[in-house]
Structure 1
Amino acid sequence: MTLPEITTAEQTVLDKALLDALDPLASAMRARATGLPEERMWEADPIGVTLSILTTWKVVDAEVKRLTAIAARTAGSYGASYEQLGAAWGITRQGARKKWPDAIDRSVPAESEPSVIELCGGSAELSREPSSGGWRWVGQGADGTRDEADNTSYYATKEEAAAHAGAFLREHVAEHG
Structure 2
Amino acid sequence: MTSLEITPEEQVELDKALYDALNPLASAMRSRGSGLSGDRMWEADPIEVALSVLAAWKAVDTEVKRLTAIAAGTAGSYGASYEQLGAVWGITRQGARKKWPDAISRPATAAAHASAVLELFGGTAELTQEPSSGGWRWTGEGADGTHGTPDGDTSYATKEEAAAYAGAFLREHTVDQP
In which range does the TM-score fall when normalised by the shorter chain?
Answer: 0.5 to 0.7
Distance in 2 between residues matched to 1:58 and 1:20, nearest whole Å: 16
Would the aligned equivalents of 2:83 and 2:96 in 1 still touch at CA under 8 Å? yes
The 3-state SS of whatever aligns with 2:69 is helix
Q: Please state how far the C-alpha of 1:108 moved relative to its aligned partner.
A: 5.4
Identity value in percent: 75
The 3-state SS of whatever aligns with 1:38 is coil
One-letter amino acid of the counterpart of residue 88, structure 2? A
Distance in 2 between residues matched to 1:43 and 1:108, nearest whole Å: 61
Deviation digits for residues 86-129 of structure 1 (CA, Å, limit 9, x no counterpart): 111111111000000000111359xxxxxxxxxxxxxxxxxxxx
1:31 maps to 2:31 = yes
Distance in 1 between residues matched to 2:51 and 2:23, nearest whole Å: 13
Indicate the residue corresponding to 1:107 in structure 2. Answer: 107
Would the aligned equivalents of 1:73 and 1:102 in 2 still touch at CA under 8 Å? yes
1:17 maps to 2:17 = yes
Q: Which has more radius of gyration?
A: 2
Would the aligned equivalents of 1:83 and 1:92 in 2 still touch at CA under 8 Å? yes
> Which 4+ runs in 1 deviate beyond 4 A?
none
Deviation digits for residues 13-55 of structure 1 (CA, Å, limit 9, x no counterpart): 1111110100000111122222221232223222111111011
**What TM-score results when the alignment is normalised by the length of structure 2?**
0.56
Indicate the residue corresponding to 1:126 in structure 2. Answer: none
Q: Please state how far the C-alpha of 1:60 moved relative to its aligned partner.
A: 0.5
Q: Unaligned regions of 5+ residues in structure 2, if any?
A: 110-178
Distance in 2 between residues matched to 1:74 and 1:5, nearest whole Å: 21
Distance in 1 between residues matched to 2:5 and 2:88, nearest whole Å: 12
Indicate the residue corresponding to 2:44 in structure 1. Answer: 44
Indicate the residue corresponding to 1:79 in structure 2. Answer: 79
Shift in alpha-carbon separation, 1:37–1:108, aligned structure 2, 3 A = farther
Distance in 2 between residues matched to 1:103 and 1:49, nearest whole Å: 38
Indicate the residue corresponding to 1:97 in structure 2. Answer: 97
One-letter amino acid of the counterpart of residue 25, structure 1? L
1:6 maps to 2:2 = no
Indicate the residue corresponding to 2:166 in structure 1. Answer: none
Q: Unaligned regions of 5+ residues in structure 1, if any?
A: 110-177
Deviation digits for residues 114-160 of structure 1 (CA, Å, limit 9, x no counterpart): xxxxxxxxxxxxxxxxxxxxxxxxxxxxxxxxxxxxxxxxxxxxxxx
One-letter amino acid of the counterpart of residue 65, structure 1? K
One-letter amino acid of the counterpart of residue 9, structure 1? E
Indicate the residue corresponding to 1:66 in structure 2. Answer: 66
Q: Please state how far the C-alpha of 1:11 moved relative to its aligned partner.
A: 1.2
**What TM-score results when the alignment is normalised by the length of structure 1?**
0.56
Aligned residues: 107
